[in-house]
Chain A
Amino acid sequence: MQSLTVPTGDRNPNGYAAADVLEALQAPHGSRRFSFRYELLDSTNATVEPEIFGVLSGEVSNNHLADIKRTARFNILETGTIDYLSDRIRPHARLHLYPYTVDDFVEWPLGVFLLSTPVRHIDRFGRITRDVAAYDQLQVFTDEVTTDRYTVAAGANVVAAVTTLLGGIPASIEPSTATLVTAKEWDPGTTKLKIINELLGMINYESLSFDEDGLAIVQAYRSPTERAVEYTYATDQSGLMVPEADQELDLFAVPNQWTLVVTEPDQPVLTSTYTNNDPGSPTSTVRRARTISDFRIEVEAVDQATLDAKVARLAFEASQVYEALEFSTAVMPIHSGNDVIHIQFDPLAINHKYAEQTWTLPLRAGATMTHRARRVVTV
């Protein structure tokens, strides 16, 4: 989640404190004011135009479990200022604060997007527009494939190997001492994103993502249970959740035993099993009086400890699907990927911590933002 204490400078010209920003977001006095800015960038993310005015509407979505996590749609008036093959757009949501002078605002970036070049449409008034599907910079690593067999040598530092593949783009990288036990190879034609994510998966890191400013993020996976709540949605006087919501609860096919096996040449077979036998868990082997297995072979892990961590992560993530909540709120541009939020939704007697899986934010004042969050359950 982006910080309520947004940086000073251009994004907070009057230096508003987090409490002021929170109050303006939650609208205790009944009204809010938003506007949106669309910044045109070149292929290196350098600003070409601080604000372009041809974007008629837009929408940004984030799916933390997808390969390309952040996507957008823009309806753009054709003005000839955009090079669709190389330019990028970074939308910003601007929250205006009292007394609403020109500099009374805070602004959050919403991602850097590469633009598709769709069909142009002309209406009966001669106005030419494009409905542009846009993708974050993960698209770059999906489009580029290896032309030869790609090898990472045994003993190589995994994060260093990922850093090499990123090719010097601006990145926030959490270091690790983990190294490859055996050399790892990928066939020609493999996408760079697949290689990067497989390497990151070996050391229990999150898959590659990009933040709202276009910075590549390489970081270790941390269970939502270990992470602090970043924002609370509640059905109270400062609530911003609309009354309608859907709660999914499907326990039927949830496994209660997970086994991962590693069979790599030049490496002993590694096996790790995690069994949910907790009587307090409704899906445990004890409560259901039977075992529902999830068995996976050819998993990659550099050592037994990593495999144990991976099977524990798999068990945790598999159990997260057992409760999902789809809800809608006012425009909340503070969200990022995999946010940990607390939801207190009285009409469904919900009062729990969730990990946000997807959200969609229409770039329009007064719009409704949709969310899907999964409840964090320790099995």
Chain B
Amino acid sequence: MPTSDSDPAEITLGLVGIWIHDPEDPEGTAVNYVYGAAAREHVVDAGGQGTLYAGRTFQVMEYGEHEEETLSINIQVPHGSTYASDLEALDVLARAKRTLWIRDNRGRSFAGTIAAYKVQDQKWGAAVAMTFGRVHYTVEEVAA
């Protein structure tokens, strides 16, 4: 098990907007989009199969170990000096075909992959929509 070089510390992370990074290289890949915070949809589906049994009026649900979780994101990229590079960075992420890590200003934080990436041109810039589907990710524990 790896060890850390410094003492662990507890702090509250204050984020603005959406942060996305490659978990293998957070510092080198993190991108932040501050607009569109009020237009996200977080869906958790615990699965389950309902079956009707003789002698019971209502179904019995049976659950497995699997869950599905998605976060639908809308990002607004306004015209400006970083417009092209911001869009390009998103395009790279959409084509990354690998696990990414997402965090937002509402405390959501998980690993997932991007699907349904869509860019709509607007008078003020571009409206980007994507779905972030959670994937299994084994977090490596670091000893204090």
Minimal beta-carbon separation of A5 from chain B (angstroms): 23
Task: Report whether B62 and A330 are in contact in the complex, using a CB–CB cutoff of 8 Å.
Answer: yes
Majority secondary structure of chain B interface residues (helix, strand, loop or mixed): loop
Determine the distance from Cα of A60 to Cα of B41 in the docked complex, in whole angstroms: 40
Task: Report whether A241 and B54 are in contact in the complex, using a CB–CB cutoff of 8 Å.
Answer: yes
- Interface size range of chain A in the complex: 20 to 34
Interface string of B55-75 (1 = CB under 8 A from A): 110111111110000000000
Question: What residues of chain A lie closer than 8 Å to B47, measured between beta carbons?
Answer: 365-366
Determine the distance from Cα of A237 to Cα of B54 in the docked complex, in whole angstroms: 9
Question: What residues of chain B lie closer than 8 Å to A235, measured between beta carbons?
Answer: 53-55
Minimal beta-carbon separation of B76 from chain A (angstroms): 33
Task: Report whether A347 and B54 are in contact in the complex, using a CB–CB cutoff of 8 Å.
Answer: yes
Question: What residues of chain B lie closer than 8 Å to A34, measured between beta carbons?
Answer: 62-64
Is B52 part of the contact surface with A, judged by Cβ < 8 Å?
Answer: yes
| Number of B positions contacting A (CB below 8 A) | 18
Determine the distance from Cα of A368 to Cα of B49 in the docked complex, in whole angstroms: 10
Report the nearest A residue to B62, measured CB to CB. Answer: A366
Is B26 part of the contact surface with A, judged by Cβ < 8 Å?
Answer: no
Question: Which chain A residues (103-156) contact chain B, with CB distance < 8 Å?
Answer: none
Is A81 part of the contact surface with B, judged by Cβ < 8 Å?
Answer: no
Task: Report whether B49 and A365 are in contact in the complex, using a CB–CB cutoff of 8 Å.
Answer: yes
Task: Report whether B65 and A366 are in contact in the complex, using a CB–CB cutoff of 8 Å.
Answer: no
Determine the distance from Cα of A241 to Cα of B55 in the docked complex, in whole angstroms: 8
The 6 closest A-B pairs by CB, nearest first: A366-B49, A365-B64, A235-B55, A239-B55, A235-B54, A35-B65
19 extra interchain contacts, Cβ-Cβ under 8 A, other than A235-B54, A243-B52? A31-B61, A31-B63, A32-B62, A34-B62, A237-B56, A239-B53, A239-B55, A240-B53, A240-B60, A241-B54, A243-B54, A331-B62, A365-B47, A365-B64, A365-B65, A366-B48, A366-B61, A366-B63, A368-B51
Chain A interfacial positions (CB closer than 8 Å to B): 27, 30-35, 234-243, 330-331, 345-347, 364-368
Pairs across A and B, CB under 8 Å, 27 listed: A30-B60, A31-B48, A31-B60, A31-B62, A33-B62, A33-B63, A33-B64, A34-B63, A34-B64, A35-B64, A235-B55, A238-B55, A239-B54, A240-B53, A241-B53, A241-B55, A242-B51, A243-B53, A243-B54, A330-B51, A331-B62, A347-B54, A365-B49, A365-B62, A365-B64, A366-B48, A366-B63
